[in-house]
Amino acid sequence: MSQLRLHVDGQTFRDSLNREIILRGINVAGDAKYPKTPDLRSHNPQQFFDADVSFVGKPFALEDADTHFRRLRQWGYNTIRYIFTWEAIEHAGPKIYDEEWIDFTIGILRVAKKYQFYIFMDPHQDVWSRLSGGCGAPTWTLYAAGLNPKNFKNTEAAIVHNTWSNPAEFPKMLWCTNYTRLACQTMFTLFWAGRDFAPKAIIDGVNIQDYLQTHFITACKYFAQRIQAAGGLEGDVIIGWESINEPNRGLIGIQDISSIPREQQLQLGTSPTAFEGMVLGSGKSHEIKTWSFGHFGPYQTGTEVIDPKGQLAWLSAEYDDSQHGWYRDPGWKLGECLWAQHGVWDSSKGQEILLQKDYFSRNPLTGEKLDYEGFTNSYFLNHYRAYKGAIRSVCGSTIMFCQPPVMELPPSSKGTADDDPNMVHAVHFYDGLTLLTKHWNRLYNVDVIGVLRGKYLSPVFAMKLGERSIRRCLRHQLKFLRDESLQRMGVHPLIFTEIGIPYDMDDKYAYKTGDYRSQIRAMDANHFALEGSKSNGFALWGYMAAHDHEWGDQWNGEDLSIFSPNDLEAPIRAFADSTRPDSTVRPRDHLVDMEDETSDSLKALTPPSTSSNFSRATLQPQQVHRAAEAYLRPTPIYINGRLKSYGFDLKKCTFTMRLIANQTAPSAPSEIYLPGFHFPIGETSVMASGGKWEIYILEFHTVKLQYLRWWHGEGKADIKIRRKKRTGAEYAALQKPHKTRCMIM
């Protein structure tokens, strides 16, 4: 069994020495959302509808993998959420798997293994597929569902960056609205519950639900089988598999499709009701309300007449299904709305008549009223069980990362058969106000989770004023999600598998000036929240190899990458020259009492000035890059005992940690990643409640990382690490515009 292997122990991860592990991770990489060939970054309209695509070369070239993984490891990340899409595996057609892409991916994973990452695999999707404005599912799935992606633009069944008249003017975050438009609503409804809500949708003798789910699960299983057969990856570096990214219920549980659901928080641009979307999808003109997103949320701006000019979002009756090799049942008629065929509405008399506004509000078999919670506990869990069974049939001991719908109540699985002891709750969280406005507002923010859980009589009471209150609110929301998970899903680790900030704030002000102070504040606030959440780690969103200042992440105008080739890296001295006597520190067997500024339980451990028996290899300077001050932070990685709390004060450059040690174990210290950017050797002060410690350099495969090892006694233990020389004025200077040249491509 590999030394990288970890296991789930209750609500923690532990290593072979029974130390608690914190996963300090990042998503690699957003580039995997779109094909390599042809170049289908979302602002590129050329060959968009070309079905002959290839993802070989994504997320980056094999010859560049060392560079990217070395950079991320040098920045202290020990975990990767590895992004892949269903489309990458099965883009050529049902059951036609891209063996070349699988071989390429195995090669990339082998490079990652050299850098000792923990990796869990993420079958990524956003708003179903690229052709409906996101990424994930193969093109042929839309045709299998009877939809015609070439007519999505005029019918507004989906708003797609590639087909926007002027891609440079694509409204920020407009892509998210596709979740509440016809194409995405239809695909997710069919995927989860086609048998119940679209019984006429039969293809190759099975309902479209079974057809879609079976192909998705089988493709992922085949991918897992190929990785397993390759050897040396599953279990050694791949610790787990996540369920489908950001599942959405589609139409399931909407009580009245003629109105906007109360729980729909985002309205931007045109905002049709589900019924209006069906009308537009049938080629009929309709007047739709328009919305914008301001500092206090969405507000109506007027109306707009959308005229599809007779184009249908559905395939014509003449469409030839044989080109895909499937057979569509004659009872499923092409050339008309699938939902009209099921009696939801009717236009046969020249007028659009809504017949069953509550068609999706109840389970047709049981009559049980559906809401998002009901969807999660039934349709979502049914799929998750099948997916888990398929992956576990290949990788029997793998950890399953269960990701329920974002921001919704998690499943009530505690104490049931779904309360899997080898499961992790995967959660996403973004500061919505900052993400949608692309501005770090230091004056006010909103407790979104509190609003969604009915904590306030009015959203007005959810307002948080002042930056300190905003930071605490973010921390409280993440802590609430951790507690809610324990109450509803049981005792499992929780990982925030997506969290991040937009870098193109304030009309790309930082790119024009080099001033990243807003990004530093926002990133620091998010990490402050993570550190106080009592979660078991995170995977920051994200890392994009092909980022540039003009198009950001190359996908729908998003710009969340912590890396960009356009930001020139400025060398900053991170480590003292290791030929200095105090560059590494031996453990002390006794304490030297000194006055502590903050706690009587902490005592200073004075490092000896004698030479060390550890490596003397000179470390290369680390680099400051895109607000790296905020994400290059000390983190406990191995805790010999139970972690109680930890945090990093960026302004004071001070790290604190509290734990409860189970037993004295000199051979198994607690270990803290200690970035030399903040804590250069010779300028770092350590105070601990007892035991002995050392600062040492961990070397492996061209990477050198600074860690602090701490051998502590049994029971409560505290440690504080601080930069000796950083002052308030120095911190203020640190946040001034970087004196590096920025390029706008």
Catalytic residues: 246, 498
233 to 22, 397, 539, 602: CA distances (angstroms)? 21, 13, 20, 43
Task: Answer yes or no: are the C-beta atoms of 28 and 553 closer than 8 Å.
Answer: no
One-letter amino acid of 249 = R
Mention every residue, 6+ apart, whose C-beta is less than 8 A from residue 597.
none
Q: What is the dihedral angle through the alpha carbons of 176, 179, 183, 184, rounded to the nearest 10 degrees?
A: 120
How many CB atoms are closer than 10 A to CB 285? Answer: 12
Element (H, E) at 694: strand 692-700
On the question of a cis peptide bond just before residue 542, with omega within 30 degrees of 0, the verdict is: yes
Q: Are 655 and 702 in contact (CB under 8 A)?
A: no
Q: Are strands 118-123 and 79-84 parallel, antiparallel or unpaired?
A: parallel
380: nearest Cα among 363, 395, 402, 350 = 402
CA dist 495 and 7 (Å) reads 14
Residues 6+ apart with CB under 8 A from 468: none
The CB density around residue 1, as the number of other CB atoms within 10 Å, is 9
> Hey, CA dihedral for 32, 33, 37, 41, is it positive or negative?
negative
CA–CA dist 631, 540 (Å, integer): 9
What's the burial of 218, exposed, middle or buried (CB within 10 Å: 0-12/13-18/19+)?
middle
Mind giving me the DSSP string for 565-631? TTBPPEEE--S--TTSTTSS-PPPSS------SS-TT-EE-PPP-SPPSS--PPPPPEEE-SSHHHH
Q: What is the DSSP letter of 376?
A: I
CA distance 177 to 248: 12
Joined together, the tokens standing for residue 20 give 């608690």
Q: Residue 445 region, left (φ>0) first, then alpha (ψ -120 to 50), else beta?
A: beta
